[in-house]
Amino acid sequence: MNSTVSSYKDDPHVQQRRWRILIILNLFTFMATLDGSIINVALPTITRELGLELGHAQWVSSIYLMAICSFILLFGRFGDIFGKIRIFRIGTVIFVVGSLLCGLSGSLTTLIAARVIQAIGASMTMANSQGIVTDIFPDNERGKALGFVGTFVSLGSIAGPGIGGIMVSSLGWESIFWINVPLGLIAILLGAKLLPKDIQTAKKKVDGAGSLLFAGFIVSLIAAILLGQEVGYSDWRIIALLVFAAVAFMVFLRLESRIKEPMLDLDLFRNPLFSLSILCGFLVFVSMFCYNIIAPFYLQSIVGLSPSSAGWMMMLYPLVMVVIAPISGALSDKIGGEWLTFTGLLLMVGAQAGLASLNEHSTLIGVGSFIALLGLGGGLFQSPNNSLVMSTVPRPRLGVAGSVNSLIRNFGMVVGIALATTTLFGVMSQKAGTRVTGLIPDRPDIFLAGMNVVFTVSASICVVGVLLTGWRLLKRKRSKDGEDHHGQKVTKEAKA
């Protein structure tokens, strides 16, 4: 690259291949988010083949998302200092190596360690992909390009159980990790040819204290929730972890508000529309992962479907979303995103309520209808809400907002898994009269009781989202009406 070029937008070679670069970015975005959800449908098989309890097996899913949440802001900062593309490239290699090690793991310990390596690579790519898009694409195409990134994120998050079920059934649970190796190598080779060199770095300090505090908050909070399922939340060790998490988070916020170059730009949250849209996205991902963690066990252990058949059933969600998301994205450009997000959340409430009513005698048509309805609601919500998030942020902060959006999304996944399993085991333990951390043979009624409560809680979370989006809709409408009245008043005064 010509060293005199100060912007990718001024480099004709980069502009000629910008859409091909986007494909590489989206391929790793898809794989990284897919691996946060694809593991869920494989958990019953992994639990059986490695001789684990369900309460232990869920760490395979949770540790990946915990590590991403812990590192994503740090690697976003590294991207600003050392170059976004350099950090992205390193992340792709680490992710592929981690995926290979996951497939070779023969015990829970080695699998969890490999998942951490995989998550480090994923967080390096996630933290910088939206920033690279912001740097490379011209202003008039930036929104469309970021929209594609958001679509691949959503598809990766929800397509995992369907794709995973098909692969586990035909190729074994190891295949869900090994598939990343050839795809990742192809993307790495294409990246070596197409990705430009970094031309923008910054002489900034690494917020080491903030990074450690935030990682401590994430790890201690989720560990307390998951371990509390096994030993009880009254245990002094669990209480100590929760207290540490609260203290670490408060100190982190205080530190970030005072230092000159914080890891997390808290000024973004002073915009109420940004904060509300981020919160709604968080609630939807919490709800989504309640479904993702529970549905595979219901379809396989209660309904009796094979992993492949369960995978095809769960594919209804992403298939419907693939059709609806582009339509809702196009509609949001014409009519705005408020009504679409509001309608989407209403549909998700109905779908979650329907899932809460399922039992061992429910028909596959009924189950499939609720899953498809959930996909319809999610498709209507995701793209317009992402557009609303980005529309509230000044252009120089688009990359930062993208990192925050990724963090909140992954944190929502972690909270969803923890909430679903904690609620499930709590209700099952109450029904069984003893502490339960797994499925009880020949007692589907106990699992169904817990599942019904989980989906009721998930529906309630979506109701909160409906109320928030309804408030956002009214606020936007009043603001628009005020602008219209003001404009009409000015026109009348001009005529006078």
pLDDT in tens, 224-265: 877 776 677 788 899 999 999 999 999 999 998 888 777 777
Distance of CA 390 to the CA centre of its chain: 16
Asked if residue 1 belongs to a domain, the reply is no
pLDDT band, residue 2 (cuts 50/70/90): very low
pLDDT in tens, 412-442: 877 887 788 888 888 998 888 887 766 777 7
CB 120 within 8 A of CB 64: no
- Are residue 252 and residue 203 in the same domain, yes or no? no
- Are residue 303 and residue 369 in the same domain, yes or no? yes
Q: Can you list the pairs that 404-407 forms with residues at least 24 positions away whose Cβ atoms lie under 8 Å?
A: 404/264, 404/265, 404/268, 404/278, 405/130, 405/278, 405/281, 406/72, 406/126, 406/127, 406/130, 406/153, 407/69, 407/72, 407/73
* CATH at residue 309: 1.20.1250.20
- Are residue 76 and residue 224 in the same domain, yes or no? no
pLDDT in tens, 132-166: 887 787 766 766 676 677 677 767 766 776 777 77
pLDDT at 495: 44
Asked if residue 163 belongs to a domain, the reply is yes
- Are residue 220 and residue 351 in the same domain, yes or no? no
User: How big is the CA angle at 29 (ends 24 and 33), to the nearest 5 degrees?
Assistant: 155
CB 197 within 8 A of CB 1: yes
Q: For a pLDDT cut of 90, what percent of the chain falls above it?
A: 18
pLDDT at 114: 93
C-alpha closest to that of 200 among 402, 407, 399, 401: 399
Least trusted range by pLDDT, from 195-199, 204-208, 465-469 = 204-208
pLDDT at 490: 44
Domain count, the chain: 2
Among the candidates 260, 276, 303, a domain finishes at 260
pLDDT at 242: 92
Q: For a pLDDT cut of 70, what percent of the chain falls above it?
A: 86
- Are residue 80 and residue 217 in the same domain, yes or no? no
Asked if residue 2 belongs to a domain, the reply is no
Q: Is the pLDDT of residue 399 over 70?
A: no
- Are residue 345 and residue 437 in the same domain, yes or no? yes
- Are residue 270 and residue 368 in the same domain, yes or no? yes
pLDDT at 231: 73
Question: What does pLDDT average to over the chain?
Answer: 81
- Are residue 214 and residue 306 in the same domain, yes or no? no
Among the candidates 235, 260, 285, a domain finishes at 260
pLDDT at 144: 65
C-alpha closest to that of 303 among 165, 442, 444, 431: 444
pLDDT band, residue 493 (cuts 50/70/90): very low
Supply the range of the domain harboring residue 109: 8-207+261-495
Tokens of 44: 């019953």
pTM of the model: 0.76
Q: Is the pLDDT of residue 196 over 50?
A: yes
Asked if residue 320 belongs to a domain, the reply is yes
C-alpha closest to that of 455 among 346, 315, 327, 357: 357
Q: Is the pLDDT of residue 167 over 70?
A: yes
- Are residue 106 and residue 251 in the same domain, yes or no? no
Asked if residue 319 belongs to a domain, the reply is yes
- Are residue 226 and residue 126 in the same domain, yes or no? no
pLDDT at 494: 42
Q: How many residues appear in the chain?
A: 496
- Are residue 145 and residue 280 in the same domain, yes or no? yes
- Are residue 134 and residue 251 in the same domain, yes or no? no
For the chain, give me the number of helices (H) and strands (E)?
A: 17, 0
pLDDT in tens, 77-120: 788 788 888 999 999 999 999 999 998 887 888 999 999 999 99
Among the candidates 260, 278, 294, a domain finishes at 260
Distance of CA 250 to the CA centre of its chain: 24
Asked if residue 3 belongs to a domain, the reply is no
pLDDT at 480: 64
CB 126 within 8 A of CB 406: yes
Which residue, chain included where needed, has tokens 């998050």? 157
Asked if residue 111 belongs to a domain, the reply is yes
